[in-house]
Structure 1
Amino acid sequence: MAEIKLELDEKQHGAFNLYDAETKIGEMAVAIRKDAITVYHTEVNENQAGKGYAKQLLDALVAHARDNNLKVIALCPYVHAQFTKHPEEYNDIWLRQE
């Protein structure tokens, strides 16, 4: 079973990393500041496609944002697409960029 870990450096840059056992199979690159989390990129290994792992990473991001009262800046095309398709699910955390 896959496990997601938020791993950040001292500047609060890093990723939600997805592991299968000890092997990293995906990531969602982020940077966290006081009141927002910027999402840059989501990627899952090609051989793991179609297993719902990107959605699991998105769910981890959303839960972290809500638990920590953060708004999400969705620069990642995948996250932006999901927020756009399902605004009712994400309006409370989505910080839209003009």
Structure 2
Amino acid sequence: MTEIKLELNERKHGAFNLYEDGIRIGEMVVSISDSALTVYHTEVDQAQEGKGFAHQLLEEMVGYARENGLKVIPLCPYVHAQFRHHPEAYTDIWQQPD
């Protein structure tokens, strides 16, 4: 069974961690402030690539941002590419540079 958990330290730095049968197989490294969620890096174990896990992490992060009224700063190349290729899906949460 696949499960995604947001695990943060006291400074609100951490990751959306993806677990398969209790074993961490992916992560999306983030930090959260009062108004923004910055995404730094997304990675899925090589053996698990091509199974849509990065997209699951993306959807979990997007849902969290929307639920909490946060803008997303996509520093992660994967997330930035998804936002750039599908701007209509993310325009409400995408904090674009001025």
TM-score range, shorter chain: over 0.9
Structure 2: state its 5+ residue gaps.
none
Output aligned runs, 1:58-77, within 5 Å.
58-77=58-77
Q: Could you list the per-position Cα deviations for residues 11-51 of structure 1 after superposition, in whole angstroms to 9, with x for gaps in the alignment? A: 00000000001100000000000000000000000000000
State the percentage of identical aligned residues.
62
Give the AA of the match of 1:62. V
Output aligned runs, 1:19-38, within 5 Å.
19-38=19-38
Give the AA of the match of 1:46. Q
User: Aligned pair count?
Assistant: 98
Correspondence for 2:3:
3
Give the AA of the match of 2:73. I
Superposition RMSD in Å: 0.6
Structure 1: state its 5+ residue gaps.
none
Give, in angstroms, the shift of residue 87 of structure 1: 0.2
Correspondence for 1:91:
91
Q: Give 4+ residue runs of structure 1 displaced > 4 Å after superposition.
A: none
Give the TM-score taking structure 1 as reference length: 0.98
Structure-2 separation of matches of 1:7 and 1:59: 16
